[in-house]
Structure 1
């Protein structure tokens, strides 16, 4: 049972002031968080008695219990690094039992319910060493993760900036899509080329890979991004974001971030939850999540998650329908091996325009209403994504492990839509740019690696050796048309035009991409307080693209990269029991299709990330803090050459000479600040400038002015003490600086434009009531002060691209758990 102890307001204020002044180590020194010996465990789920016995054996202690106490009970097992008491808490999670110290070791006892108190479970999260699964932890941080290096490292042990959005944070903040999650993640930004086309950025660069349980999906081409960038969060336990160059695990990409979505896993104890939500603009959503053992000894476990959502919008005509299905099964083939099989499907049917709202010819705001819809009521943007995946874990007796994983995703997009377009010599007439397209995208990802300890010079070190392969096949077809219809954008009728269908044989593209790599990572335990991580990767990359427009001859690009070497180095020094200094170098490569004067593909871009930082870990890892400074150089960018520098063979050629530089700082705090108080907050400053470019006038200028450079994000919740413990209050704050785009108009000579969104602040509130052990009710109120702002602005005045952010809105959610 988790029952926060009442405390005096003056004591709470004193602790908060100490925290604000950097006195977190004083709190961490309290007896509840006394340091214990920590060991790493990998105990599979099964009958509770068996799991307890194995934990006792591996930890070298004794525990006494009788068969009646554990009869019919199961445990999810134990994976990760834990002290003894925290290991017991994790093994006994979900049961009204606890391990108490005695003269002969430990004894298993029942946990009585306090009189009049709400019984929330047998495990308190405070002072508990967190594992790699965040579900039921109640925390805003997590334990070991493998996104950066494949080594199971905590946030403090990882020599890069890391953020984890946990299941508890997603539920508290009502984050239902990846777009919602990344809006709340420090260091992440987003632009949109239309309501359904998000592009994510970190440290000024586009994110080109999404990972599911460590397996990548390629988003390097914007057409693949259109189909795969909006997964629903119902099926995920948490999202890990490692910022900077992450080529060691991903191979090709940009020096932005690795986003790893970790799926929910089956549980060894039976559980069912039913969630129903209702909110602004007829926003209705339901979820069912059922998990548990499939046989008596819990060696077979399964889980099914379904979600269905329909919603309208603050914008006229716009609506959406979404369905999600997820099924996963785990089988313990032996004491040492576990097989996982799963499938997921997500379908989204949107009625939405292709673009956004226009600006004046000089880029100034036209002050259109937020409800303005300049498309037609027959437009659609429909996506269908299906993934099957498998994984085999084998644990050797010498603490080495072998993992084999594979996934395949089929994605389909059908769209018919318009965007507002300026037409005529002066650009004073508005028309519609109509497009109809059908894309099919198939991606396969495979990974195999072995990891474990080895002995060298009297110390134990860790090693990972692995190989991976990614394959992508894309086929697209479509057509487009311009219509100068003389739109009255202030009085537009979305039902005034008949539906139009285009000949989809006009445009056609085929694309095949593959990447094969081998990688190695090792962590050297140089001293008790000094660790060195070294890694390397060798990649082979191939791309073949063919595009046909109308009757013109097909154009194509065929390029490859052979034996590209990616490097990783990080060093971590423990200043004391709570703080570590780190320095790291990481890189990543991105192939380019441009040709040099001889007709060969120019060498790949290379992003080099240099980072220095300090990390703090308090309350046995329940609170994590970090501060980092970074520099990223993306060099070898294609730089167009003059005609006299090219050749008759390649009249338009380039060289790998361009360079961008990103510099900034990141500050972050996540986890349990005080009993019942969870906080996730971060400030980021990042700016990217041209160092070398085809246009010398660009050198020294900002690269992407429509991405904010200063961003502060925070969300916090507090469970009230004493008799009010059923109530939890929370709130969020988002602040960003001004963004803009400027340039020359191509509709009017000697005319310039500047499109901008001034700095703005958003405030959210949350109220949660635990009605009973099984029923939870939550209210989320977003954009409390109804700030009117553009979440994304147009790149020019030719097409409508401004997109309003959501006005004030609410969502009421009830969750039944059994």
Structure 2
């Protein structure tokens, strides 16, 4: 086996030699405009400003033209604050709550509801259990778009929380390369490599390759994780009007002694526990390995007269393998006793096949130009998983203060159970942006959805079928001036749920309506986006965490939930050299009795990130970020309001070399990562990292 130093040297040498070859060819390239169709945006390197997106309506619109709240985490922001995981990135997104219930399993919420809509380049993916296992690395993404509110046009359902769209890195016409080496607290070691450019003298074939490797220990006792990520994309100009793209992403995340469940939140007398931040309930032999292979093929054809057809096929294979240790019970305040063991081994495999076909373009009617999109999508998700149980379940454990993780491995001698089910969804969608006047536009659309599930889940029948469900969408935008617009939108909600009740049966679909209105602006020669939104959502059958059984969570359906509030966001270059993104969110959620509901979600959140290039010393960039939220509780515990401050600084030694440093949790704030479950653990204390970057 090669040593880490050897692998590092090989990676750097390969990247450098590849780009030397590209540089030699660069002078020979004479590309017409068609060649760069679909290539990544190479401008606005430092910008935090949101860019045009089709993630909300499948129509390529600026944020001001989109009648919904939309934010963008740009590549510059991801790099400045070393947001190497999706969890870290979304913690900076306005209105998003990252519910880190365990070290390797995460839920996401917005406006008080679970986010179950993830997209890759605008194509929705099935969310089998409503969460992410492992860790999604951001090395392969150009940016991350967040569309808040119901989004039935894009995802096939009208979930009113938010949609997260991951925009993958694509090949560039001109050669470029970048390598980052990072070291940090708890023995963090990371390398990122990214090379791109034309592969032929004519420039009609282009490629991009991204590799990332990370290995680190943790502030948590016994926990460590290693990640390996590869992303490759090839683009072929089949003709002046036809572009074919094919790509593959592999991510492997291997965790040692991960949390399965977390810490008890109160003692048997009802008082609050207060463990050390390093306390972990995991066993020393536990592990959780997750691997995902994601392949896509895309064919885009320019039909002329402003019309384009595009077909995308995606195949996903995700595998998980773990030997895990869950701790349950309520400890005694004086002795610490009262906790018991629940070991288990677990394997799963999820295969997904997703297809999307769309036609979009402009048409004339009534003497005005309008835009339209028509399409169809189809997906199939097949899941098989199995859990093995052990006769040692229920073994009394020592106090967590004395727990070293030393306990016998499971014998798997108490039987097994599992799931084997298939989810299918097919839909037809259409939308149009009607230019009613020079200042008034109307967006109308609908998606017709068929959803079907078959098979079983831990002994429960998962057979369900919904046909011909219609999810309508309507939005209006009026330009007050050349800089400001007001908007309003309406969407119905139909959202089949993955959550199950105590018996293992899936809950009925969520149904309801979503309203949103606001004002948006483009300031300072379009360098800054400004948005204010007010919203209201009414829903029935919403899943709410009800407890744990056999190490698995179960839910109950809640009727008459209403979520209403407002959001304010600003992003872009506020002053020369000053980039910023800041957002404030207020959400009030009540149940049918007008009582406060979904109490694990904060009413108030404020998030901000800013960087500044120092005048007279523009090689130096300094910055800071702030995440603040008010108190939350879940019936058995509460988390007081807290703020997390992060700092960054970077210095460009020359056009190719940069050094940077990041300091996270400056004030060493101690807080629980989430109260989404009835167990939780503490977030990381103050930590730091340093990086050296080379770019071409």
Normalising to structure 1: TM-score of the pair?
0.76
Of residues 511, 518, 526, the one that matches 1:606 is: 511
In the TM superposition, what is the alpha-carbon distance from 1:455 to its structure 2 partner? 0.6
How far off its partner does 1:593 sit? Answer: 9.2
Q: Which residue in 1 is equivalent to 2:302?
A: 395
Residue 77 of structure 2 is aligned to residue 184 of structure 1: no
Distance 1:208 1:660, change over 3 A: same
Gaps of 5+ in 2: 1-25, 545-555
Contact kept, 8 Å, 1:76 with 1:269, in 2: the verdict is no
Query: What is the Cα deviation at residue 220 of structure 1?
Result: 4.8
What is the aligned partner in structure 2 of residue 536 from structure 1? 446
Instruction: Tell me the secondary structure at the aligned position of residue 539 of structure 2.
Output: strand
In 2, Cα distance between the equivalents of 1:363 and 1:325? 48
Q: 2:14 corresponds to which residue?
A: none
Deviation at 1:702, TM superposition (A): 2.5
1:753-804 per-residue CA deviation (whole Å, 9 max, x = no partner) reads x3111001111111110111001111111111111111123744xxxx2211
Q: 1:521 to 1:678 in 2, by over 3 A?
A: same
Structure 1: 5+ residue stretches without partners: 1-69, 80-89, 92-130, 549-553, 640-654, 692-698, 743-753
- Out of 279, 284, 307, the residue aligned to residue 372 of structure 1 is 279
Number of residue pairs matched by the alignment: 650
Q: CA–CA distance in 2 between the matches of 1:140 and 1:594? A: 36
Deviation at 1:367, TM superposition (A): 2.2
Q: Which residue of 2 aligns with 1:670?
A: 571
- 1:447 lines up with 2:340 in the alignment: no
Displacement after TM superposition at 1:499 (Å): 2.1
CA displacement at 1:423 relative to structure 2: 6.7
2:291 is matched with which residue: 361, 384, 387? 384
* 1:138 CA drift (Å): 1.6
- Alignment map for 1:143-162 (pairs within 5 Å): 143-162=51-70
Q: How far apart, CA to CA, are the structure 2 residues paired with 1:407 and 1:607?
A: 30
Q: 1:279 to 1:608 in 2, by over 3 A?
A: same
CA contact (8 A) 1:190 1:707 kept: no
Aligned counterpart, 2:669: 787
Residues 267-282 of structure 1 mapped to structure 2, 5 A cutoff? 267-282=172-187
User: Where in structure 2 are the equivalents of 1:684-703 lying within 5 Å?
Assistant: 684-691=585-592, 699-703=593-597
C-alpha distance 462-298 of structure 1, shift in aligned 2 (>3 A): same
Shift of 1:605: 2.4
Q: Secondary structure at the match of 2:560?
A: strand
Do structure 1's residue 805 and structure 2's residue 683 form an aligned pair? Answer: yes
Asked whether 1:358 is paired with 2:240, we answer no
Q: 1:688 to 1:329 in 2, by over 3 A?
A: same
Corresponding residue number in structure 2 for 1:768: 650
Report the 3-state secondary structure (helix = DSSP H, G, I; strand = E; otherwise coil) of the residue aligned with 1:713.
strand
Partner of 2:209: 304
CA distance in 1: counterparts of 2:103 and 2:498, whole angstroms: 29
- In the TM superposition, residue 209 of structure 1 has moved relative to its aligned partner by 2.2
Are 2:633 and 1:755 aligned?
no
What is the DSSP-based 3-state SS (H/G/I as helix, E as strand, rest coil) of the residue aligned with 2:63? coil
Q: Verify the 8 A CA contact 2:441 2:477 in the aligned structure 1.
A: yes
Which residue of structure 2 lines up, in the alignment, with residue 814 of structure 1? 692
Matched, 1:221 2:129: yes
CA–CA separation in structure 2 for the residues paired with 1:151 and 1:618: 23
Q: Aligned-pair distance for 1:704?
A: 1.4
Larger Rg: 1
Question: Which residue matches 2:7?
Answer: none
Q: Which residue of 2 aligns with 1:72?
A: 28
Corresponding residue for 1:45?
Answer: none
| 8 Å CA contact retained: 2:310, 2:358 | yes
CA distance in 2, matches of 1:713, 1:423: 35
Hey, what's the Cα distance between the residues in 1 that align with 2:234 and 2:639? 48
Aligned runs of 1:391-790 on 2, under 5 Å?
391-422=298-329, 429-481=338-390, 482-494=393-405, 496-502=406-412, 506-548=416-458, 554-591=459-496, 604-635=509-540, 658-691=559-592, 699-722=593-616, 724-742=617-635, 754-790=636-672
Instruction: Say whether 1:259 aligns with 2:169.
Output: no
C-alpha separation between the residues in 2 aligned to 1:438 and 1:432? Answer: 20
- Distance (Å, rounded) in 2 between the aligned partners of 1:173 and 1:625: 22
The 3-state SS of whatever aligns with 1:180 is: helix
Distance 1:621 1:606, change over 3 A: farther
Compute the RMSD of aligned alpha carbons: 2.6
What is the deviation of 1:182?
Answer: 0.8
Partner of 1:146: helix, strand, or coil? Answer: coil
Secondary structure class of the residue paired with 1:233: coil
User: CA contact under 8 A between 1:638 and 1:658: conserved in structure 2?
Assistant: no
SS in 1 for 2:227: strand
What is the TM-score normalised by the length of structure 2? 0.89
Hey, what does 1:55 align to over in structure 2? none
Deviations 1:318-371 (A, max 9, x none): 100000011100001111010000011000000113122223235533221111
Deviation at 1:555, TM superposition (A): 2.9
Q: Distance in 2 between matches of 1:380 and 1:815?
A: 33
For residue 607 of structure 1, report the CA deviation from its aligned partner: 3.4
